[in-house]
């Protein structure tokens, strides 16, 4: 197995508020150390110091990565440590206004968690690519930081509600299938858990919502306009791995963004990515 992460600043940002990390590597062999994991966090653009908060959340999640990531105990331990770190640095709780996406592999499966918004993608061993985009209908994601204070949680729910929209895609040789569902999250467990058995799935990736913020420059003889680029164009390009050796995601991402630039496609938001490969 192997893991890798990548993050980069968007064209409209001055500071990158996305962060991603995965296993350390043996300096001599380049092989990852420990059980495979990936963590992605995306700070809110309107929250002061959320770039720092995203890192604190990711590092707190790493500290507790040996726990079952879909359990309440993992969530509680992560948020508590992140809050202590935030206070130690003299930062407001608002700095923790960031999404948290975690992936972890065992001998039998790959497990995922999305707290906030983002995308999870998985490559089936039959070659098909499946991905799910989580978006909050209000436009304001429910961050883990709201669980730190009951009043903050109540105020969020009163103002924004917990309605989410899930856009599910399947991409294979036949084309693209897409379906959309919407529902209200359970306030007691306002996050998403995933499980992929290794027998049928070989690669799982996590993306911050910046992967949904790409646009193409369209030039005519009289004007220049921007068109949104759909996920079914962006994610297959970012997951077109030739192999899974070493820092495979960093190599693929650099090449993918070169291809985007050549096609006049630009990412306006920061993007954070993490991938686990079982091959």
Q: Return averaged pLDDT per consecutive 10 residues of the chain, 279 residues in all.
A: 96 93 92 96 94 98 95 94 97 96 95 98 97 97 96 97 98 96 97 96 97 93 90 97 96 97 95 96
Write the CA distances from 250 to 20, 89, 245, integer angstroms: 12, 31, 11
| Residue 135, pLDDT score | 97
In angstroms, the CA 174 to CA 84 distance is: 50
Residue-wise pLDDT tens digits, 81-108: 999 999 999 999 999 999 999 999 999 9
Which domain covers residue 56, as residue numbers?
A: 2-277
Is the Cβ–Cβ distance between 166 and 182 less than 8 Å?
yes
What is the Cα–Cα distance from 203 to 196, expressed in whole angstroms? 9
Domain CATH for 6: 3.60.40.10
| Structural domain total, the chain | 1
Residue 242 is classified by DSSP as S
What 3-state DSSP class applies to 50? helix
pLDDT score recorded for residue 221: 78
pLDDT at res. 220:
82
pLDDT of res. 246? 94
């Amino acid at each position: 197995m192997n893991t890798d992460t990548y993050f980069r600043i968007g064209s409209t940002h001055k500071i990158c508020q996305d962060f991603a990390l995965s296993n350390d590597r043996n300096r001599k062999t380049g092989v990852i150390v420990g059980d495979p994991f990936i963590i992605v966090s995306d700070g809110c653009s309107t929250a002061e110091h959320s770039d720092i908060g995203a890192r604190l959340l990711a590092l707190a999640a790493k500290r507790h990565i040996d726990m079952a990531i879909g359990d309440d105990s993992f969530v509680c331990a992560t948020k508590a440590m992140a809050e202590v770190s935030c206070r130690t640095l003299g930062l407001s709780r608002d700095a923790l206004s960031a999404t948290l996406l975690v992936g972890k592999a065992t001998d039998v499966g790959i497990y995922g968690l999305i707290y906030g918004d983002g995308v999870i993608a998985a490559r089936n061993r039959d070659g098909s690519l499946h991905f799910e985009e989580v978006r909050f209908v209000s436009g304001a994601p429910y961050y883990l930081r709201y669980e730190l204070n009951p009043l903050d949680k109540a105020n969020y729910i009163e103002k924004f509600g917990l309605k989410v929209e899930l856009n599910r895609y399947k991409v294979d040789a036949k084309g693209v299938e897409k379906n959309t569902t919407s529902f209200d999250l359970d306030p007691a467990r306002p996050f998403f858990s995933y499980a992929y058995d290794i027998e049928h799935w070989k690669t799982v990736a996590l993306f911050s919502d910046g992967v949904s913020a790409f646009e193409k420059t369209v030039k005519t003889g009289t004007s220049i306009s921007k068109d949104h680029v759909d996920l079914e164009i962006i994610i297959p390009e970012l997951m077109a791995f030739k192999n899974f050796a070493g820092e495979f995601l960093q190599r693929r991402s650099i090449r993918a963004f070169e291809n985007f630039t050549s096609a006049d496609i630009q990412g306006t938001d920061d993007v954070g990515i993490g991938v686990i490969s079982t091959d």
